[in-house]
Every structure is written in C-alpha cells, then in structure tokens.
Amino acid sequence: MRVLLLGGTAEASAIARGLAGDARFAVTLSYAGRTRAPMVQPVATRSGGFGGVAGLVDYLRHEGVDALVDATHPFAARMKANAANAAAQAGVPRLAVLRPPWVAGPGDDWTLVPGMAQAAAALGLVPRCVLLTVGQQDLAAFGPPHRYVVRSVDPPARPPAGAIVLTGRGPFDPASELALLRHHRVEVLVTKASGGADGKLWAARMLGLPVVMVARPPPPDGPIVPDADAALRWLHGQAACRGV
C-alpha cells in the first residue's frame, strides 16, 4: 500500500526506518524543503509544498495514496490542518503523530506564553543573555536590549543584531547543553513547547535558569498517536484491513 509520510521530525524518520524494507509498504516521505541538508532516508523522499489543500488532494489522488501519516512538527499547524482537510476530501485514512508536550517538574521556572511577541516581552527590559531555540523563521520579535545565542538547524537569514549563531540538529545531550549554557553565561531560555528530547530543560533546571516557553498551537482533529511505534502499529492495521 502507498503511504505518504509528512516529515521534518525525528518521529517521521523513525517511521521511515520502521517501514523501509517492508514489502507491504511503498513510502514517500515529504519534506517542506526548509533545511539545506535534510537527513538521508531509507525510503523515497520528495521536497516542497503541495500547493495548499487542493494541491494535496490532487497529490493523494494522482499518486494513489492509501494512507497519510502526518508526522510534522507540533508547531507545523498549517500543514496539519491541510493534511486533515485534504485526507477527508480524498477519502484517505489519516493519522497524526504528536509527541507529548513537556511537563514542568520541581525546580522548573517556566513562563508559558501564547506567541513569539509575548515571549520577547516576557524577557523584560533588563539586558540578559538569552538562548533562543525557536527555529530560524521566528526570530523577528527578538531584539535589544538582550544578548542572544541563537541555535537552529541552518543559519538564520536575519538573526537579532549581535547574536551568536550556533547551528546544529538535535537531539542534544544534557551534559553538552549544560556546558553550552555555562560557556555563554546564558541567563534565560526561550523555546517552543515542542516536546521530545529535553536536554536544555534539564540543564536549565540544574542551573536554576528561567525558561520562556511558547505554547503549542491546537492539535488537529482526528486520530492522534504520541510516537513512531504507535504510528507503525496503525499502519500495520491499515495493511491488514486491505489484506496486504
């Protein structure tokens, strides 16, 4: 059966690994095309937008897709909505993979904010050193009087003035996160409530640093599973239903 896997996440890569070599599945993993060097995958890949809901409906029909797995990032709200609408229109079963959000524990000093402008405002007016890990597209709200250490997969086109730019693809281990916070004398972190590997949050807790956390957009309608294993079980069930 033909599977379209919407990716750009560790979960999508894990699902691709789980399906590669399984003769029941012909998988295409789709990237938005934002990162310069996406991870090499053991399944076919495509890159670039579909052209909204209508374009994705056309794609699903033209390619004879039997199942759509939306394993995009929790903040990829537009793609998630498009996937839900297009799958419904094309009559294709769809599953969303949404990793559990982080939960604050003892010793955490988190401020939850609804968006980037509020995150910038939450930093206050006293200059501080900020570790900013919100992705390269969402930096416009951040500026003086703070000093920024920006980390993203590719270098951002317009980092805040004077920012130190670090590139790297997670997950990052807790010890190296601790070293990074100490090395740059970071005083506060700003992150999206992405979930997943939480090395920087552990390190912030160890150092007693506050975290400004940008809340997730609402989840999509329809069935949702928390991880790649559950998505693989769903796909195995879809294959069984089709007698594949």
Q: Does 49 bind ligand NAP (CB under 6 A)?
A: yes
Among the listed residues 3, 9, 148, 156, the single contact to ligand NAP using CB under 6 A:
9
Closest CA to 86 of 62, 61, 54: 54
| Residue closer to ligand NAP, measured from CB, 188 or 214 | 214
**Residues, the chain, total?**
244
Of the candidate spans 4-12, 95-103, 107-115, 140-148, the one that interacts with ligand NAP by CB under 6 A turns out to be 4-12
Give 78-140 as a 3 state SS string: HHHHHHHHHHHHHCCCEEEECCCCCCCCCCCCEEEECCHHHHHHHCCCCCCEEEEECCCCCCC
CB of 138 to ligand NAP, least distance (A): 7
Q: Does 7 bind ligand NAP (CB under 6 A)?
A: yes
Q: Select the residue interacting with ligand NAP from 16, 38, 75, 205 (CB under 6 A).
A: 75
Q: Does 213 engage in binding with ligand NAP (CB under 6 A)?
A: no
With CB under 6 A as the contact rule, which of the stretches 67-75, 120-128, 142-150, 219-227 interacts with ligand NAP?
67-75
Beta carbons of 214 and 134 less than 8 angstroms apart: yes
H/E element holding 230? helix 228-241
**Cα–Cα distance measured from residue 188 to residue 123, given in angstroms and rounded to the nearest whole number:** 8
- Which residues contact ligand NAP by CB under 6 A? 6-9, 30-32, 34, 49-52, 55-56, 72-73, 75-79, 82, 135, 192
